[in-house]
């Protein structure tokens, strides 16, 4: 059974894996304590109410995404780490998620075509065929480990297809996801050994993607990498480091977050027959149903920002350099916006769901994620209408920003 919200308004978010879905009740308690609440475990401010989270994302307060030195690494470790992890420290500032305007605006404009609706629609037949192939492969089994045998097989193949990369790289995705999430996505300061793994992943990815980029420069195709290589805004294009940074981020985040949503969504829908039946019975409402699944399972849990100046938020003094956590999971359960928020209700309006982060940092890959999820859930539960969980307790990963499961045993028959 999940740990209850015993910590009240100051939950220890370093224990997020142990807390399981109990973290959602803890964040509810924080939200009703006050709009901006200090949390010891993240050494920063939790912002939990829907309108405040939206305001934070939309730039109504001086919050910055340039946060590598202030959040991931303490100042006293930077000198050591610059010698030990040169690839990582060189790459991370070039990730679009770690930039503010005007640089962010420039990077997003150069990336936009590679994430267009047309690009996603062209991937749909492949995603649909991949889903059918993976489900065919497990159809003879009574029980399946869902995370690696189903979700990774689908989302990993789709992201590799988007990049124009061979499927042999599928075997590397679990390692890359694990090292990036463990080293860069947790609450606790990572150990040097953990960061060694991150640096090794950077080295491996650099070798692969540098070669692939060089190939596209000589002979571009119709894939994502070629779009990035050829991207131009007037005379401007992506630098080599910017291009590689986009590759590193998209190859991991572009499949891992969708994988986690699939797993958490299957876990929730296996236990909720009315929601499952509505999803199957209303194909014209599938996108709204998927958005409600995403709101409810709270894969997208939090986004971190750094105060760029002193300011007051609801009378709470925020100082320059303070950590501010926009708690998406709490916003998506705010009773001020969502009636009966603890229930998965496929009929509710989802236009205010904050899963993809509104504002200039709105997830650029949201259409790709939605496409895969809208194809997957109806296909899975049509094929396996009797699917049920084969474990009593969900095994959560220790990551705060994006929640996921280490494994998920599903009984298919």
What confidence tens digit (pLDDT) does each residue in 251-304 have? 998 899 999 999 999 999 999 999 999 999 999 999 999 999 999 999 999 999
Nearest to 87 by CA among 238, 252, 197, 216: 197
The verdict on residue 3 lying in a domain is: no
Q: Could you give the CA distance from residue 272 to residue 291 in angstroms, rounded to a whole number?
A: 16
Chain Cα centroid distance, residue 412: 27
Higher pLDDT pick, 6 / 230: 230
Task: Inform me whether the pLDDT recorded for 72 exceeds 90.
Answer: no
68 DSSP assignment: I
- The pLDDT of residue 1 is 27
Give mean pLDDT, residues 108-121: 88
Task: Inform me whether the pLDDT recorded for 325 exceeds 60.
Answer: yes
The verdict on residue 388 lying in a domain is: yes
Task: Inform me whether the pLDDT recorded for 408 exceeds 50.
Answer: yes
- The pLDDT of residue 75 is 65
Task: Inform me whether the pLDDT recorded for 390 exceeds 90.
Answer: yes
Nearest to 299 by CA among 402, 409, 221, 149: 402
- The pLDDT of residue 256 is 95
The verdict on residue 389 lying in a domain is: yes
- The pLDDT of residue 82 is 78
Task: Inform me whether the pLDDT recorded for 321 exceeds 50.
Answer: yes
The verdict on residue 278 lying in a domain is: yes
The verdict on residue 4 lying in a domain is: no
Burial of 157 (0-12, 13-18, 19+ CB in 10 A): buried
Q: Could you give the CA distance from residue 17 to residue 398 in angstroms, rounded to a whole number?
A: 5
- For residue 317, the surrounding DSSP H or E stretch is strand 316-318
Residues near 102 by beta carbon (within 8 Å), at least 6 away in sequence: none
Task: Inform me whether the pLDDT recorded for 3 exceeds 50.
Answer: no
Mean pLDDT, the chain, as a whole number?
Answer: 91
| Sole residue written with tokens 């307790």 | 393
264 DSSP assignment: H
- The pLDDT of residue 297 is 98
The verdict on residue 199 lying in a domain is: yes
The CATH number of residue 195's host domain is 1.10.630.10
The verdict on residue 196 lying in a domain is: yes
- The pLDDT of residue 9 is 67
Q: What is the pTM of this model?
A: 0.93
Task: Inform me whether the pLDDT recorded for 68 exceeds 70.
Answer: no
Q: Using one digit for the tens of pLDDT, what is the confidence trace for 166-205? A: 999 999 999 999 999 888 876 667 788 888 999 999 999 9
The verdict on residue 252 lying in a domain is: yes
Going 301 to 302 to 303 to 304, the CA torsion angle's sign is negative
Which domain, by its residues, includes 334?
A: 13-411
- The pLDDT of residue 77 is 66
Q: Using one digit for the tens of pLDDT, what is the confidence trace for 353-379? A: 999 998 889 999 999 999 999 999 999
Domains in the chain, number = 1
Q: Are 389 and 270 in contact (CB under 8 A)?
A: yes
- The pLDDT of residue 37 is 96
- The pLDDT of residue 73 is 57
What are the φ/ψ torsions at residue 109 (nearest 5 degrees)?
A: -60, -40
């Amino acid at each position: 059974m999940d740990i209850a919200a015993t910590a009240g308004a100051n939950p220890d978010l370093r224990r997020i894996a142990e807390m399981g879905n109990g973290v959602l009740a803890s964040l509810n308690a924080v939200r009703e304590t006050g709009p901006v609440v200090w949390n010891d475990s993240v050494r920063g401010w939790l912002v939990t109410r829907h309108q405040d989270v939206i305001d934070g994302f939309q730039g109504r307060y001086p919050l910055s995404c340039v946060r590598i030195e202030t959040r991931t690494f303490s100042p006293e470790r930077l000198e050591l780490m610059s010698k030990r992890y040169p690839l990582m420290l060189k790459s991370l500032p070039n990730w679009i998620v770690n930039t503010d305007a005007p640089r962010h605006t420039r990077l997003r404009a150069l990336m936009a075509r590679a994430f267009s609706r047309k690009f996603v629609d062209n991937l749909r037949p492949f995603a649909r065929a991949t889903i059918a192939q993976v489900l065919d492969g497990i159809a003879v089994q009574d029980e399946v480990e869902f995370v690696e045998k189903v979700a990774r097989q689908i989302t990993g193949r789709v992201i590799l297809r988007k990049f124009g990369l061979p499927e042999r790289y599928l075997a590397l995705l679990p390692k890359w996801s694990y090292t990036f999430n463990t080293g860069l996505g947790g609450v606790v300061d990572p150990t040097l050994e953990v960061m060694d793994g991150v640096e090794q992943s950077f080295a491996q990815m650099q070798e692969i993607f540098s070669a692939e980029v060089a190939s596209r420069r000589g002979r571009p195709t119709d894939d994502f990498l070629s779009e990035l290589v050829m991207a131009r805004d007037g005379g401007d294009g992506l630098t080599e480091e910017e291009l590689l940074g986009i590759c590193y981020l998209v190859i991991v985040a572009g499949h891992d977050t969708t994988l986690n949503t699939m797993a958490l969504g299957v876990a929730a829908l296996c236990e909720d027959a009315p929601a499952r039946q509505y999803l199957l019975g209303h194909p014209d409402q599938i996108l709204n149903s998927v958005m409600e699944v995403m709101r409810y399972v709270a894969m997208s849990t939090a986004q971190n920002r750094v105060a760029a100046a002193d300011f007051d938020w609801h009378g709470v003094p925020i100082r320059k350099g303070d950590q501010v956590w926009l708690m998406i999971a709490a916003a998506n359960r705010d009773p001020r916006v969502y009636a009966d928020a603890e229930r998965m209700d496929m009929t509710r309006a989802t236009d205010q769901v904050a899963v993809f982060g509104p504002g200039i940092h709105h997830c650029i890959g949201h259409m790709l994620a939605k496409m895969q999820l809208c194809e997957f859930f109806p296909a899975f539960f049509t094929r396996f209408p009797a699917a049920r969980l084969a474990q009593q307790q969900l095994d959560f990963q220790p990551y705060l920003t994006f929640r996921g499961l280490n494994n998920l045993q599903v009984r298919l028959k």
